[in-house]
Every structure is written in structure tokens, then in C-alpha cells.
Amino acid sequence: MISLERIETAGITLHCATAGDRKGIPVILLHGFPEAWFCWEKQIEALSAAGCFVVAPDQRGYNLSDKPAGIDSYVMATLVQDVLDLADSLGMSKFNLAGHDWGAAVAWCTAMRYPERIEKLAILNVPHPGVMKRLIKKSPAQLLRSSYMFFFCLPKLPELVLSRNGFKAFSSKQPADLTESEKARYIEAWSQPGALTCMLNWYRAALLRKQRFAGSERITVPTMILWGKQDPYLSFELVAPSAAMCDRVETVIFEEASHWVCHDEADAVSTNLIKHFMG
């Protein structure tokens, strides 16, 4: 059974979904843009039933979590610290970490900077940060796929465009087969006061000079990369060099899945996460 609670950490209060025995294997799941904790709902249920204690926060700026003002509040070092502070608040000295999209970027960076805190890492459809930086500089195709990110960095205009007609523009940033109730759930999350600007501030913060993040590029913890091959935003050619940055890695490719692999292959993703975290 999934419980919803607000967890006060050293730096911020995060709205979280929790499930499972608190003595179970600790797992933190990080959503991406423009998601919320419930993108992981099926995985939360499966992992907790298998014996894990699962925590899936609405990350800062999203849905019902705190929404600090200012672009500076969303630099990577702060996002990583949120994960550590959440784990500390729950008494997790070490934990398993999975992330999708922006959540995967945070997960990569957490493992780069604080490997001593991570038992195992799972990454869904986002490349290693160093690999992404290198490819986007030399690949016009990936630059085109990522062009929406530059639009999101503009002031004010993205908020106007994305919120029009009941957030219709977001339909391309979500799985195509969401039910009406699932769509309504997302619209409610995006409609929270200040949420849309805070969500976009993750992209805007990426352009700040202070965004440079200290940490070894090598990933030393056991890692699983799960990837939907039909991702329209991120090239499949990012997978192999990302895996090469990991000392111990398993790669799982879903041939027909899109960027939204948690949704498109929900059961298979759950099975692989259970195998990885509990193996």
C-alpha cells in the first residue's frame, strides 16, 4: 500500500510516496520532466511487494513539494543534496537509487559524487552527463532532438506556451496512451501554484556557470541502464558510451519502448529493478 507524506529534510520539505517495510531494502526513485512521483506507481507497488522500502519524492519544484524561488535553487549540486538529505531523514546510510529523465541525471551525479552512499544505481533513458555533453557538441542530429531544451530556457514564454489550452502542448512530452484519469492527475500537478516555472528552472539552471558539478566521471557502483530504443529525444547511440563509463554495468534495451519506458514497459522495468536491487 502506498502512503503519501511530507518529509522534512535539512534543506527542503518533499512530498513523497512511500511503500513497504521500513526495514526492507531501501530504494529511492527519482522522476523526470514533466512527471511526478506517480510515474513510478507500478514500480513502487512491485518493489515494495518484493521486500523493498520504496520512497518516490516529488522533486523540488514539482507537484506538492516545496517550490523555492529563483533559478539558482535548481542547480545540480542542490538537487543531489536533496537526495542525500531525504535519505538522511529516513535513516538510510546507503540506498539503491533509480532515476528517469531529469531524475536519471540527478542519479548519475549522485553516484559520481557520493558513491559511498549508493548500493546500486539504475538509469532509465538518460545518458551519462559527460557523454551527453560530448555528443551534443558533435552531433547535429542530437542537437536537433534536444532543441526543445533551449526553448525551455527562455524567460516566461515557455510558461505561456505550455500552459495554453489545458497544457495541451505537454501531450508530446508524455506517453501517448495515458488514460483520461492519468492525464488529469498530471494536469493537477502542473497546475500547482508556481510549479511550471520551477519545473522549467531545472533547464534554466543547467545554463548557469555554477552548474559545473564536481565529481569523478567514472561510476563505480553496480549500474543497470534501461533504455527505450524509440526515444525521440535521446539517441540510442548514447547508450554504449554511457555504459563504458561504468565499472560494473548491465544494459537492458526495450526495442519498442519510447522515452517513457516506466510506462511503456512497466512490468519489465519492475522485474529488472527487483533483479538488480535485490540480486
**pLDDT per residue as tens digits for the range 7-18:** 999 989 999 999
Q: Which residues pair with 15 in a beta bridge?
A: 6
- Alpha-helical runs (H) found in the chain: 41-49, 76-89, 102-113, 129-138, 140-145, 147-152, 157-167, 180-190, 195-205, 239-243, 261-264, 266-278
**Which one from 58, 66, 101, 231 is the annotated catalytic residue?**
101
Work out whether strand 25-30 and strand 95-100 pair parallel, antiparallel, or are unpaired. Answer: parallel
The grid cell for 110 is 549522485
Amino acid at 115: P
User: What does pTM read for this prediction?
Assistant: 0.95
Distance (Å, whole) CA 126 – CA 233:
10
The grid cell for 276 is 538488480
**pLDDT per residue as tens digits for the range 248-268:** 999 999 999 999 999 999 999
Q: What is the mean pLDDT of residues 49-68?
A: 99
CA-to-CA separations, 273 to 37, 92, 228, 276, in angstroms, rounded: 17, 19, 15, 5
pLDDT at residue number 44: 99
Active site residue 74: no
Hey, where are the domains in the chain?
3-278
CATH of the domain spanning 3-278, picked from 3.30.70.270, 3.40.50.300, 3.40.50.1820, 3.30.70.1400? 3.40.50.1820
Residue 165: band (very low, low, confident or very high) from pLDDT cuts 50, 70, 90: confident
Active site residue 114: no
Distance (Å, whole) CA 266 – CA 263:
5
pLDDT at residue number 177: 81
> 24: closest CA among 87, 95, 84?
95
Residue 130 CB coordination number (10 Å): 15
Active site residue 101: yes
**pLDDT per residue as tens digits for the range 184-240:** 999 999 999 999 999 999 999 998 765 566 667 999 999 999 999 999 999 999 999
> 276: closest CA among 252, 260, 257, 244?
252
**Which one from 128, 259, 263, 276 is the annotated catalytic residue?**
259
pLDDT at residue number 69: 97
Terminus-to-terminus CA distance in the chain, angstroms? 23
**pLDDT per residue as tens digits for the range 102-161:** 999 999 999 999 999 999 999 999 999 989 877 676 767 777 777 788 899 899 999 999
Gyration radius of the chain over CA positions: 17
pLDDT at residue number 61: 99
pLDDT at residue number 162: 94
The grid cell for 80 is 543531489
Q: Does the N-terminal peptide bond of residue 115 adopt cis geometry, omega within 30 degrees of 0?
A: no
pLDDT at residue number 133: 79
What's the CA angle centered on 189, arms 184 and 191, to 5 degrees?
Answer: 90
